[in-house]
Amino acid sequence: MADHKLAVIVLAAGEGTRMKSARPKVLHTVAGIPMLGHVLATARALDPAHVVTVVRHARDAVAAAISELDPDVVIADQDDIPGTGRAVEIALAALPEGFDGDVVVVSGDVPLLDADTLRDLVSAHRAAHGAATVLSAILDDATGYGRIVRAGDGSLDRIVEQKDAAAEELEVREINSGSYVFSVVGLREQLPRIGTKNAQGEKYLTDVIALLRGAGSPVAAQPVREPWLVEGVNDRVQLAAVAKRLNQLIVRGWQRAGVTIVDPDTTWIDRDVVLAEDVEILPGTQLKRATRIDSGAVIGPDTTLESVEVGAGARVSRTDATHSVIGAGASVGPFAYLRPGTYLGADGKIGTFVETKNSTIGAGSKVPHLSYIGDAEVGEGSNIGAGTITANYDGVNKNRTVVGSHARTASHNVFVAPVRIGDGAYTGAGAVIRKDVPAGALAISVAPQRNMVGWVEEHRPGSAAAKAAAEATGEAGETE
């Protein structure tokens, strides 16, 4: 049930120059989801009445992502006045005029911060009837962060940014995480009083703390239980560190849910992946986006699945697959490549060095090795011989090949689409099939073999082959 006295403001206006990327910083992905997506999901988990995200840099790209991630988020545009204080001021203007509750402020580049931590912060804020409560953290190295400066009695006095801090303030190890809860009344009163006389020429949201305290309003700082929860991302090094931390949490969660993960250090699982009990994940495996794996399936080693459904008891080894379905009890790999639109039925097989695309391979059917099956449909219980190619492209259009049920096609076949091989039909080795094959028929296209005796001696005289042939011919003659 929505908390009608709670709003969340997400700050996502920064440029993120240290990422050195054409992509906006908050849209870089962690566990398959943009950083901003993690933050919006956490915000929504608080059940607030309103969520407002402030944007500026790469505005259209960020706004489009927000609309896809959470269409109900209100988007507010920051103007030319820089700083987090101005960003929050813009966001408050986007809230309903009569809103008189509490406002949570979080940053779009802090993807590990969870809803439980914010709930605890809101609860502490409300229990103390606070005007502002800051989420802080104790770090061994606080370089780069704003410092929490406490009064002699231990209460929060002010927050000092790194560039504005005095020498003794730089020794402080308690830092501002950039996440807050404010009473909206006090926040609205104090934001217009913030100036830009500081090292960065910005309106600091942190200046509100000192203003509220000066006005006699209660302010507090609450340290987070684990400092990594508030780790922000400013460059690619920090992005990798945050991604690794989140992956460790995801992997551990699945292990505790009954999934065997042989080597957690080389297994990467995106947040949206769903695994059933008794799935086994072998080393070097990546499970990405909307992948779903049913009970008893074994995945890996050295396998990447992106948005793939895997049925119960299937086995997928050393395979790269995207937007595909692998049926229960099926076998894939090693060294298979399943492109989008592949559907492998129950107990089917896609074997070694096989590439498939936009194709359905029916229950119990097999494509064992060294084949390309594209834009094709194979019925049930059929076997596709080694080295088969569906020639699906005529230079203009893609055409389909249809192989019926219980068909047996031989090695080194080429099916020139559009073509249909009927139920129970056979094809001969090396056949190029250009016409439909009726059910139960045998199709061959190879000319009768012709041996041109003496060709090597005539056309390659003096060669090693000619000498070997002459010796073999002589020995055969002596034997005769």
Spatial distance between the Cα atoms of 313 and 347, rounded to a whole number of angstroms: 9
Q: In this prediction, what percent of the chain has a pLDDT beyond 70?
A: 99
48-72 pLDDT, tens digit each: 999 999 999 999 999 999 999 999 9
| pLDDT bracket for residue 477 (50, 70, 90) | low
Spatial distance between the Cα atoms of 50 and 2, rounded to a whole number of angstroms: 9
Instruction: Give the helix, strand, coil percentages of the chain, each rounded to 5.
Output: 25, 30, 45
φ/ψ of 419, rounded to 5, equals -155, 155
Nearest to 207 by CA among 85, 299, 306, 376: 85
Spatial distance between the Cα atoms of 452 and 30, rounded to a whole number of angstroms: 66
- One-letter amino acid at 388 equals T
The conformation of residue 17, written as its DSSP 8-state character, comes to G
Beta-carbon-side half-sphere exposure of residue 289 (alpha carbons within 13 Å): 10
List all residues 6 or more positions away from 208 whose beta carbon is below 8 Å from its beta carbon.
85, 132, 182, 187, 190, 191, 194
| pLDDT bracket for residue 399 (50, 70, 90) | very high
Spatial distance between the Cα atoms of 42 and 265, rounded to a whole number of angstroms: 26
CATH superfamily ID and name for 3-230: Spore Coat Polysaccharide Biosynthesis Protein SpsA; Chain A (3.90.550.10)
Question: Is 73 within 8 Å of 51 (Cβ atoms)?
Answer: yes
Does 418 sit behind a cis peptide bond, omega within 30 degrees of 0 on the bond before it?
yes
* Mean confidence (pLDDT) of the chain: 95
The CATH code of domain 237-443 reads 2.160.10.10
Run of H or E residues at 456: helix 455-459
The pLDDT assigned to 480 comes to: 45
408-431 pLDDT, tens digit each: 999 999 999 999 999 999 999 999
Run of H or E residues at 54: strand 48-55
Active site residue ranges: 369
Look at residue 120 and tell me whether its pLDDT is greater than 90: yes
The pLDDT assigned to 136 comes to: 96
219-249 pLDDT, tens digit each: 999 999 999 999 999 999 999 999 999 999 9
Nearest to 109 by CA among 38, 199, 176, 208: 38
Mean pLDDT, rounded, for 95-117: 96
The pLDDT assigned to 268 comes to: 98
Nearest to 72 by CA among 13, 134, 126, 8: 8
The pLDDT assigned to 5 comes to: 96
**Residues present in the chain in total:** 480
Spatial distance between the Cα atoms of 311 and 292, rounded to a whole number of angstroms: 8
Burial class (CB in 10 A: 0-12, 13-18, 19+), 30: buried
Look at residue 198 and tell me whether its pLDDT is greater than 90: no
Give whole-number Cα distances, 308 to 194, 223, 287, 339, in Å. Answer: 52, 41, 9, 10
List all residues 6 or more positions away from 471 whose beta carbon is below 8 Å from its beta carbon.
none
The conformation of residue 163, written as its DSSP 8-state character, comes to G
| pLDDT bracket for residue 195 (50, 70, 90) | confident
Question: Is 325 within 8 Å of 307 (Cβ atoms)?
Answer: no
Could you tell me the residue ranges of all domains in the chain? 3-230, 237-443
